[in-house]
Structures are given as C-alpha cells and as structure tokens.
Amino acid sequence: MAYKADDDYDYLFKVVLIGDSGVGKSNLLSRFTRNEFSLESKSTIGVEFATRSIRVDEKVVKAQIWDTAGQERYRAITSAYYRGAVGALVVYDITRNVTFDNVERWLKELRDHTDSSIVIMLVGNKADVRHLRAVDTEAATAFAERENTYFMETSALESTNVEKAFTEVLNQIYQVVSRKALEATSHSTSLPKGQTINVGKDDVSAVKKAGCCSS
Amino acid sequence: MKGLRRSTTSSSVPSTASPRLSPSWIHLRSLLILASATSPRRGSLRSPWTKRKRKHSLSHRHWHNLLSPDGKFHDGGVKFIKKVRSGGVDPSIRAEVWPFLLGVYDLNSSSAERSITGIQKRKQYESLRRKCQQLLDQCHRGDRLKVIDEVSNSVSSIFNKDCKFHDYEDDASTRPSCFSAEYLYNLQDDHSIHDGYYSSNLSYFEKEYRDQLTSIDRYAWGAESSSSESSLEDENELLLASSISDSCVEHDPILTKIPSIRGDFSEYNRTPEDFATWQRIIRLDAIRANAEWVIYSPELAAVSMEKALHSAASVGLKDYEDLDPGMVYHAARMVAVLEAYAVYDPEIGYCQGMSDLLSPILVVMEEDHEAFWCFAGLMRKARQNFRLDETGILRQLNIVSKIIKCKDLHLYQHLEKLQAEDCCFVYRMVLALLRRELTFEQTMCLWEVMWADQAAIRSGIRKSARERMRLRAPPADDLLLYTIAACILQRRKLIIERYSSMDEIVKECNNMAGTLDVWRLLDDAHDLVLTVHQKI
C-alpha cells in the first residue's frame, strides 16, 4: 500500500464521501490521503477532493475521493458530483443518533444519482468517543446488511480502520471492474488494450490506461 | 489593471496546441513570480489598488477630518466612499467605520441620530436573543412538536386575518411572503424592533417569497407565537417601509438555466431544515472556527476563562474542552449572533459558510449587538447566496461565467469543452466571499472596498464626469464577482494549456488559499468592471 506518484496508475476510481455535517468526512479524507487530522477543520463548502494511489492485485489504483458539504442545503450542488462515482462512503457519527437516522436519506439520494453497481460502505466514525456512543454496532451492522452495503466503524482521530475502510471499498470496486472487464472480453475477443470500462453512468472513473507511455 | 493587461496580451497570442508550456511562457512566468515577490508589501493595507495612483487606507486623522462637529459628513460621504474604494480602512478605525459601510448607519446621519439608532438596535438585538433563548429552552424541554403546532395554527389565523397589505394576496404562491412578514413581526416581543432597517428587510423577504414557492411548514420550526395581533399603526409602518425600499431592493430575476451538471436541479426534492438543525450546526461550526483571528484581536483572545465559560453557558455551548478561553468566547459570540440571525431571517436561517462571514466582523466589533447589525448589513446582499433553492448562488455563478465569456472567449470555449462553463468551481469563492482563499487581513481589505462600492450605490452617490474619469470604474454592486472572474482570468494560460478536466480546475480553485494578491485582483476586477460591465 505504498503512496505512488500522481500520474502513474492503472485505474482511476471516483469515490464520494457523504453524510451529515460534522460526522468527520473531511478528516477521514485527510487521514487517508495525507495522514492528517485536525480538530478545527472547517465546514466543507461545495465540494473538494483529494487523491491517493494504492496497489490492488498488482495494479495501481488511484482513488479520487470527493468530499462534500453535509448540510441539506448544499445537496443540489453536491449531488451533481455523484456523476461517475463508482464507490461511496456514507458516514455517520456514532455519538449522534440523528446522523445515523439520516443515512437512509443519503443512501436513497446516492442510488438516485449513481449506477446500481456502485460500491457502498456505511461508516460509523468517531469510534474513539466510546463513552458517548449512541449508535449500537449491532444496529448498524443489521442496517448495513439490510441495505446490502459494507460496514465499518472508524476513528479518523485515532486512525483506526480508516485505511481499511477505503482500501476495502477500492478493492471491491476493483473486483466489480475486473468482473465487468472479464464479461466484456468474453463477449468480444477483440477488446483492445486501453479500452474504457464503464462501471458508472459515464466514463469519468475506472479508466484503464493504455500502457505506461500514455500521458 | 496591469494584471489584466497582461492577460489581455496573452489572450491575443493564440495558444499552441501543445499541452506543454512553451519555454517563453515559463520564462515570463518566472519573471512574474519574481516581480510579485519583490513588490513592496502588496498584500498589506498600505497598498493602493491602483499602481499608478498609490493610495493609503483611510486613516484615523482623515476619518475625523471628514466629519463635522455634529458628526455628519461634510459632503454626504462622497470623499469617505472614494477613499475606502481605493485603499480600504485603517485597522484602528474599522469598528467606527464598518457600520457606515454596511448600512447600519445612514451616511447622512448625525452623531445624535446614530446614538438613538444605536440604542434601538441594541434593544432589538437583545429581543432577538431572548427569542433564541426561549427556542433553546423549548428544544431542551422537548416540546418542539407542540410548539410547532401552535405556530402553525396561529400562522394560519394571521394569514386569514391580516393579509391586507399585499396587493397579490389572492395568489396562493404568495402566502408564505405574507406569512413571513407577519410571522417575523409577531416573533418579536419588542415592537421597537420595527425601525427602517428592519422593516426594509421585511419587504425584502416579501419580494423573495414572491419569486418562489415555499412551504409554510418550513417555518414551523418551533417558535412560540407571542402575539397574533398587530396594530394598524404597525401595519402601516410595514407598508410604508416596504414601498420605500421597493425601489432600492435588488431584484433577483428567475435564474436562467445553467447547463450541464445543474440539469436536474429544479426537480430536486428538498427536506426542510428546522431551527433545531441550525442550532446544532451553528454550534458545530462555531467550535471548529480556526484561530487565525487571534493576532488581530489580542484583547479578545486574552479573555478570562470565567468570562468565556459564562458566555458559553449563556448560549448553551458544549464540547469545547480542547479550546482556549479566547476561542471559547469567540465561539460563544458566534453562536449568539448566528442564532439571532436565524430568527431574524428565517428564510435563510443558518447555512454553513455564514460563520466564515461573521468571524472577521466579530473580531472588529467587540459588542455582540454591533457585530450582529454589521453582519445583517453584510447579509443583505450575501443572503441570496444561501437560499435553500440555490437560485441566488446560481445566478452569481452565471454572472462570473458571463464575465469570462465577455472578456476571454478563448478561455470560455475551453471551459465549455470541459463542461465547466457554468463556473461551479468558484462556488466556494462566491459563497464565502473569498474568505477561504484570502488571509484574514486581505479579506477585510477586499470586503471594505466591496462594501464601499455597495454603499455608494445604496446612497446614490453619483460621480461627476470628471470624477468618473479619475476613479475610472463606476461602483459595482457585484465587485466580488469581477474579482473572482479576475482570479480565474489570471490563470487562463494554466487552465487552457494544462487542464483537461473540470476536476483539475476544482483542485486549482480549492488550493488557491494563500496565493492571491488582493490588490492585484482588485486592479484586474476594476478593469473588468470598466470594460465588460455594460455588456453583462
């Protein structure tokens, strides 16, 4: 899982981070991409993104992770950025029930705007604040099973499970992409190297690059 | 101006098809970097915003010379506005000057009039705070549902009874507007709140509501209705204020549809936000405000722990264990003012980003009620950007897009190619008025210049032909948008030659913090106002 140079990758996956305000989306992102955490990270206005490349199955996967504003009011602009996403982390705060209750709405919105093959992980963040826990792990697990999403509890502050959550999502996306590629090749034997593989509604993500000499 | 000349020059040179930078451009760029690095303190207050006529900020001495013994401007504020437009305000007099720039005080007022206004405004703010306190207590008691029900009932009775002052009362879509004015009116337990400023805001709301369909339920956010009848006298006051300000309220035309990613915007299903949500997010944002302001106000930062804890307790602020007393105090003041604003302007309530706008004001204005009214003055224009239906912000983005199109078709066509011509990448810049991109001091300079333009327009200060020549550009209500467009135009070469997706432009914009020269941006913005303003 070494950090790689920015332009040297085999796949580019777009992943979105969604969930209520203050659940820790920006810190999950900064923990994963820069190994940083800030108690005074400002509210995200509109959208921001960061990237990190990891190795999956001998391939370099570049994750482009979009961090969005959590407030209801920003949803029109943020939902526009779902376009082309192949993975999503739906985040809630384990110390605030309301943020877990709202997950259902976030999921609905996500599914309305993205392809059905999108890989979704439910993330219960702030797991380090044990004494204030309001959402049971069991309840969240059951919910994730019902909604057919992956689930993990994380702490961006203590750096617990953050790496694991993102890499799991990227791994799963990779599996989807590989499966689709395999299906495509079985249908057409003449798929040239460098073929764009659509896993989302359009081809923003999951572009298999044509060898090492492409720019 | 010089900066824009530079970009004009470069735009006349057809860009090469090669995605790489040409060696000559790299050379030129390193020269520019060198030039900007060696220019004397351009980011500081002492800088002018035109290189040719270097000017200083409005100084303490100059400020007092502008005023006659009764505290009135000798010339109705013309010199004052002109000075601030060109150089901003010296930090030592900001607290005195900002209320004029933000329309809290009339430019024609005397000291005596201002002290009366000041007392009234203080009372009005205290009244808003009392209402916040009631709402907070109710939320804690958990009787919100009951309260919402009461409000809904009283609202419908008000609506049926007291809609006389609207000439469009039969139109169902206007109901919330009537409701809103009356509702806000009844929300206040102190009738002195209805001075000109406040009433003009009411009419502002009315206009807003006429333009959109909103649900009455959205406003049933847990307020107790203190009285449901209003006197005829007060109604007339409202009517009067409404007709006066009708002429100066800016209209927000129905947004022309912005293509590409905004396509499904109108069908978007929104869930209403309620006051409890705002209360929660306000506290969240107040606590995570950064400490950038501390060096600008050591006195506020050095507040005692006792005072900080007291103010935190008074607004029900928790979860601040890791913060210094100064930060706790700042956070508590932020909660107080933002909550009061949400009550004052329930159509907007609280939206993330507003805390960014309030923070510099809190640092300059030491009293909460002064900070509140300055903030309300700033929001008079900025509130459009925070509307729930996003029409205000989209209209602003559309103007930035038009400015770029007018000035630099080549860049615009490149943006079109990347499906980025809607300029969504400047969203944050518009919303937070460049607060996230500029330093604290730079932000205040930019805002002062911007406010001076708005104050000139608001008070109808018209320049003589000679003045116009000297000042070059007329005051622009949208100076911010020209500044933002200038910011993008300064990067035209980079965008055209290096960027092949909108993502890259988003990244560029998100990483601009700390790289901007506010006075050069204003030079360029000024030039844009002069050249393309008529066409927009």
- Nearest CA to B79 among B471, B522, B378? B471
Contacts of B69 (CB under 8 A, 6+ apart): none
Q: Cβ separation of A48 and B353 shorter than 8 Å?
A: no
Q: Is residue A130 part of a domain?
A: yes
B309-312 contacts, C-beta under 8 A, 24 or more apart = B311/B336
User: Could you tell me whether strands A87-93 and A11-19 are parallel, antiparallel, or unpaired per DSSP bridges?
Assistant: parallel
Q: Is residue A4 part of a domain?
A: no
d(C-alpha B164, C-alpha A191), whole Å: 72
Query: Looking at CA atoms only, how far is residue A33 from chain B in angstroms?
Result: 14
Q: Is residue A5 part of a domain?
A: no
Residue B277 has pLDDT above 80, yes or no: yes
Overall average pLDDT of the B405-426 stretch: 95
Which residues on A lie below 8 Å from B265 (Cβ)? 76
- Nearest CA to B184 among B69, B413, B348, B53? B348
Q: Is residue A192 part of a domain?
A: no
Residue A22 has pLDDT above 90, yes or no: yes
Query: Looking at CA atoms only, how far is residue A31 from chain B in angstroms?
Result: 17
Q: What is the count of residue pairs from A and B with beta carbons less than 8 Å apart?
A: 82
Give phi and psi for B336, each to the nearest 5. -60, -50
Which residues on B lie below 8 Å from A70 (Cβ)? 352
Q: DSSP secondary structure string, B124-135? A: HHHHHHHHHHHH
**Residue A117 belongs to what domain range?**
11-187+198-207
Q: Say whether residue B330 is in contact with chain A using an 8 A CB cutoff.
A: no
**Within 13 A of B512's CA, how many CA atoms are on the CB side?**
24
Q: Cβ separation of B506 and A48 shorter than 8 Å?
A: yes
Q: Nearest by CB to B273, from A45, A73, A81: name it.
A: A73
Indicate the SS3 state at residue B448: helix
CB B344 within 8 A of CB B365: no
Q: Is residue A80 part of a domain?
A: yes
Query: Looking at CA atoms only, how far is residue B350 from chain A in angstroms?
Result: 10
Q: Label residue B472 by pLDDT band (50, 70, 90).
A: low
CB B206 within 8 A of CB B177: yes
For A24, the closest chain B residue by CA position comes to B284
Q: Nearest by CB to A22, from B273, B284, B351: name it.
A: B284
Q: Is residue A17 part of a domain?
A: yes
In terms of pTM, does the model score above 0.80? no
d(C-alpha B183, C-alpha B238), whole Å: 13
Q: Is residue A42 part of a domain?
A: yes
CB A167 within 8 A of CB A33: no
Provide the number of structural domains found in chain A: 1
State chain B's mean pLDDT as an integer.
72
CATH number at A130 reads 3.40.50.300
pLDDT digits (tens, 9 = 90+) for B84-128: 998 999 999 999 999 999 999 999 999 999 999 999 999 999 999
Q: Is residue A2 part of a domain?
A: no
Q: Cβ separation of A45 and B353 shorter than 8 Å?
A: yes
pLDDT digits (tens, 9 = 90+) for A72-111: 788 777 777 788 899 999 999 999 999 999 999 999 999 9
Q: Nearest by CB to B288, from A40, A70, A105: name it.
A: A40
Q: Say whether residue B289 is in contact with chain A using an 8 A CB cutoff.
A: yes
ipTM: 0.82
Q: Label residue B536 by pLDDT band (50, 70, 90).
A: confident
Give phi and psi for A111, each to the nearest 5. -70, -30
First-residue to last-residue Cα distance in chain B = 19
